[in-house]
Amino acid sequence: MNKEISAYHESLSPSDQEICNALYEEIHSNLADAENKIWHRHPVWFLEGNPIVGYSKLKDGIRLMFWSGQSFDEPALQPEGSFKAAEIRYTDINQVNKKHLAKWLKKARKIQWDYKNIVKRKGVLERLK
């Protein structure tokens, strides 16, 4: 774990740290080739410069967000924002289902919308791959 993400985890409560550590381990093992860094103050993973998945602390728990998640056809992931992102929120470590997470991460690699060039395309998303 890089020092920026480690510092992010250390700033959280013990229960939130536990959730984030579990998310980190699963994301890192399924997207080992992805770049990961703090982006807009939260841990985010990128493939070829395109944001794929990240998590953040909210008032009511931890939000795991997939930038292209609305295209995954997964009922547990809720739409987020006006583009293609979807999220799930956790308030307890027991809610983190590693089997589901691994399946979503596999889809995240295969199903991508081009967020990297969204500004250049003036807010228009195009499907990659």
pLDDT, tens only, 34-80? 999 999 999 999 998 889 999 999 999 999 999 999 999 999 999 99
d(CA 73, CA 5): 29
- Per DSSP, what are the bridge partners of residue 39? 42
**Given pLDDT bands bounded at 50, 70 and 90, which one contains residue 112?**
confident
Q: How many CB atoms within 10 Å of residue 128? A: 16
Q: Which one, of 65, 47, 44, lies nearest residue 129 by Cα? A: 47
- Per DSSP, what are the bridge partners of residue 113? 127
d(CA 1, CA 103): 22
Tell me the percentage of the chain whose pLDDT exceeds 70.
Answer: 90
d(CA 69, CA 92): 22
Where in the chain are the domains? 3-128
Identify the CATH assignment for 3-128 out of 2.40.30.260, 3.90.1150.200, 3.30.1330.10, 3.90.550.10: 3.90.1150.200
- Answer whether 0.85 is exceeded by the pTM: yes
